[in-house]
Structure 1
Amino acid sequence: MLWAHQADYWPMILFYGGCMLAELAVRQSTLAASTNDIFSVAKTGKLYSALCILGFICGLYLGGQPNQDYEHAPGWAMLWSLIPEHVTQPQRYWCNWGSLLLVWSTANFGLLQCIFTTRISQYLDKISFSLYLVHGVVIHTLHYSLLDALWNFIGTDTHLKKETAFLVSAVVVTIVIVWMADLFTRLVDVPSVKLARWLEGKCIVKTPAIKVEPAWRNSDTIV
């Protein structure tokens, strides 16, 4: 992870960070099971809960890193000054650390997990891969053209008109993205997974497990 930071390779920072968080979660579960759930009791304490909430708030704050005019945002002038000089995409720097804080705090605090266990959240999780695939296409085709048309129709002479046009475009594009992701999941993603599992079953030879009986069960050895 330190190498990725020095190499300015932010995707690997997130990858290694996710691996570390997953390993930490496994070790915490193992520790809790081996110590009569003492660790789980500690995780329900007020201090630990406050730490998770603080981490979540800090993650949201860092995730909202401004791309420009950061000197007018509270605290961001100092944070921008802390970004290493070798970073070529400084606008992504604090967002990376913010995302790791969000994942850690959410994974370790039940109250925050409730946000992601609702039916809507689980549905979005189901189509998340399809959302990742189709959102760029919809944004670059529908959103930009629709936003220009709305700006021409509503006007751009005031901030209210510009933001209203953007809001209308965002709502329409969001609906279209979710709809296309749902179709892609049903028509492409799920059938592809089923096909891959079917091919795996045809290509892999399953050998029946041979049960080896202990020597003492052999009738010849029984006196």
Structure 2
Amino acid sequence: MLSPPNSALPRVLSRQPLTRALRVLLPSFVSDRIFPEHRTTYRVHPTSYLDGLRGIAAVIVFFCHYTENNFSALIPSYGLNYDRTSSVVQLPYFRIIFSGRPMVHIFFVISGFVLSYKPVQAIHSRDLDKFYTTLASSTFRRALRLFGPCVVSTFMILCLRQMGYLRPARETLSEELWKWKDAAFHQVTWPWSWDFDLKPAYDIHLWTIPIEFAHSMLLFMVLLMLSRVKMRIRMASVFALLIYCLACGKWAGFEFLAGLFLVEIFVIKSAREKDWESSEREQAQNSTSAMIIKTAQIAIILIGLFIGGWPNHDADKTPGIRYFNSKTPYPFATMDYLAPQKFWFGVSAVFMVWAIGELGGLKKFFEGPLAQYCGRISYAVYICHGPVMDLFQGALIGRPAVPAHGEQEETDFAAGGLLPDSGVKSVFGISTTFQITVSWFFGLLLLGPLVIWAADLFWRAVDDPIVKLGKRLEMACLDDSTDHPSPRSQGYSLAA
């Protein structure tokens, strides 16, 4: 029997059960190289840079929780370690690598932008039918899109606990199921607290999800309310709502509606650029005013990155940050100790999202393959990084050896090695700042690929299928009949 030609060999191999399993289990970027015939092509669209920005932000959130859980000595601002010298990664700008809190605010601004983009496009094109269709579709699918993957992930955590891979379950399976139901209903999918940190059981990192859902609904309501008014009135109304949210101390509402305001600017600018001739566009980009604007945008990025290094504690002692802290307006200045950073994170996130879209070099980076891949798995990274760390950080990061201390004859003598040394901490040590930094770096090299791998699998097995399920469910539920009975013929009150 003749063997198949070389060009057909990958297709033949891809049909084998072991090969199919390998294709599923390998990270997608590896599988795509081995089996290129199954590769999915992703196109870059006008707002792709936002997907890339969201992806990088999700990875930074993982870096943040990894650092807080395992290397708390790196968390204070540079110079504020009371028991040792500070590491170079604690310096301003360097510390943005593990500053996860400002990334949440960037998430919310991006969500407001992305959810508003198509509806605002339809408004500007005077196509209200398309606007209502797009808005209804987004509203219908939003709950499943946000809550579905989280319900699945927390149930997987329940199973891992029952099997003993995570913190040993103290309850029976039936008790654990009841506890999981309560957490899923009253915390993970509970949108009634608006911007309160509910600290969900099974995965505390999901505290942002009910806030995301509640403010998505607020955004859709504002879009519907302002869909038929003049553009200037609509933008003035949104701006007034932004100020109102800040005056009420509602940072999440401010960020979502700021995303809507940025969309209006983006759509107007895009329409103007289409009307310009290429020569006129180049001349406008090279003008003195354009150079001044570019300089201001670069300054915004630099200030935003500096603010992004705001520490969890001792903000009033951190050079530069203490100035912003002292200028925090009411009511954020008096709400709680984290409220000032929420105000500044929110404001800087809005300006940074705008500036990144205007700076060609940064925009191209976030449209590049690395950032776009991170964008595709961003929600999965956010959901999976906590459980993966709980599973593996104990063995991979470990602990250093504990030396004996005290005199053997004395009552307070403690023998060394009560717990065996393990992980990168035992290899590189954590006695000095340099050792801590090296251990942090190599621990990240070990744990990071596991988080990305798990997120890639979760994205393909859970996240993406739920997105497709939402679309199919919407299509199955649509009333596509052409003849709708009038309200009077059904006995409805027009005043209702």
Alignment TM-score > 0.5, same fold = yes
Residues 139 and 147 of structure 1: CA distance in aligned 2, closer, same or farther (over 3 Å):
same
Aligned length: 209
CA drift of 1:3 comes to 2.8
Q: Tell me the residue number matched to 2:268.
A: 27
Equivalent in 51, 54, 76 of residue 299 of structure 2: 54
Say which of 100, 111, 115 aligns to 2:350: 100
1:4 and 2:245 matched? yes
Q: Is the 8 A contact 1:4 1:13 kept in 2?
A: yes
Q: 1:148 to 1:100 in 2, by over 3 A?
A: farther
Asked if structure 2 preserves the Cα contact closer than 8 Å seen for 1:134 and 1:177, the reply is: yes
Q: Which residue identity does 2:249 align to in structure 1?
A: D
Cα RMSD of the aligned pairs, angstroms, is 2.9
Give 1:128 shift.
Answer: 1.4
1:86 aligned partner, one-letter code: T
Residues 14-163 of structure 1 correspond to what in structure 2 (within 5 A)? 14-33=255-274, 42-43=284-285, 45-70=290-315, 73-84=318-329, 85-88=333-336, 89=338, 90-143=340-393, 146-149=396-399, 150-152=424-426, 154-163=428-437
Distance in 2, matches of 1:192 and 1:144, equals 32
Instruction: Quickly say closer, same or farther: Cα 1:8–1:148, change in 2 above 3 A.
Output: farther
1:183 CA displacement: 0.4
Counterpart for residue 117 of structure 2 = none
Matched residue, 2:140:
none
Query: C-alpha separation between the residues in 2 aligned to 1:139 and 1:102?
Result: 30
Distance 1:79 1:169, change over 3 A: same
SS in 2 for 1:86: helix
State TM-score, norm by structure 2. Answer: 0.38
Are the aligned partners of 1:28 and 1:39 in contact in 2 as well (CA < 8 Å)? no
- Larger helix proportion, structure 1 or 2? 1
- 2:261 and 2:381 mapped to 1: Cα distance? 26
SS at match of 2:334: coil
Instruction: Give the distance between the partners of 2:307 and 2:393, measured in 1 at CA.
Output: 27
Structure 1 stretch 40-49 or stretch 107-116: which is displaced more? 40-49
Q: Residues 19 and 136 from structure 1, CA distance in 2 versus in 1: closer, same or farther, beyond 3 angstroms?
A: farther
* Inter-partner Cα distance in structure 2 for 1:31 and 1:146: 54
Task: With the length of structure 1 as denominator, give the TM-score of the two structures.
Answer: 0.78
Separation of aligned partners in 1, 2:442 and 2:427: 12
Moved more, 169-178 or 117-126: 169-178
Aligned amino acid, residue 347 of structure 2: W
1:207, CA displacement in angstroms? 5.3
Deviation at 1:43, TM superposition (A): 4.8
Whether 1:181 and 2:455 are equivalent positions in the alignment is yes
1:133 offset after TM fit, Å?
1.5
Corresponding residue SS for 2:263: helix
Structure 1 residue 205, shift from structure 2 partner? 4.8
> Using the alignment, how far apart are the partners of 2:481 and 2:334 within structure 1?
55
Residue identity in the other structure for 2:445: V
Quick check: 1:192 aligned with 2:437?
no
Do 1:116 and 1:122's aligned partners in 2 also have CA atoms closer than 8 Å?
Answer: yes
In the alignment, the residues of structure 2 paired with residue 103 and residue 203 of structure 1 have an alpha-carbon distance, to the nearest angstrom, of 36
Task: Check conservation: 2:307, 2:321, Cα contact below 8 A.
Answer: no
Residue type of the alignment partner of 2:313: Q
Partner secondary structure for residue 343 of structure 2: helix
- Structure-1 separation of matches of 2:353 and 2:282: 18
Paired with 1:76 and 1:193, the residues of 2 have a C-alpha distance of 41
Flag the 1:201–1:69 CA change in 2: closer, same or farther, 3 A.
Answer: closer
Separation (CA, whole Å) in 2 of partners of 1:136 and 1:115 = 27
Please give the secondary structure, in 1, of the residue aligned with 2:311. Answer: coil
Match of 2:237 in 1: none
Q: Residue by residue, what CA displacement relative to the aligned partner does 1:171-201 show, whole Å, maximum 9, x if unpaired?
A: 2222111111110111112222223323333
Q: Report the Cα distance in structure 2 between the residues aligned to 1:71 and 1:205, rounded to whole angstroms.
A: 58
- The 8 Å contact of residues 393 and 447 in structure 2, kept in 1 or not, is answered as yes
Report the counterpart of residue 100 of structure 2 in structure 1.
none
- Greater mean alpha carbon deviation, residues 53-62 or residues 72-81: 72-81
1:9-33 deviation per Cα after TM superposition (whole angstroms, max 9, x unaligned): 3222221222211222122223444
Aligned partners of 2:397 and 2:243: how far apart in 1?
Answer: 41
Contact 1:64 1:95 in 2 (8 A): no
Give the Cα separation in 2 of the matches to 1:81 and 1:144: 40
Q: Structure 1's 135 and 127: CA in aligned 2 closer, same or farther, altered over 3 A?
A: same
Identity %: 26
Deviation for aligned residue 1:60: 1.2
Which residue of 2 is the match for residue 214 of structure 1? none
Report the more deviating stretch, 10-19 or 86-95. 86-95
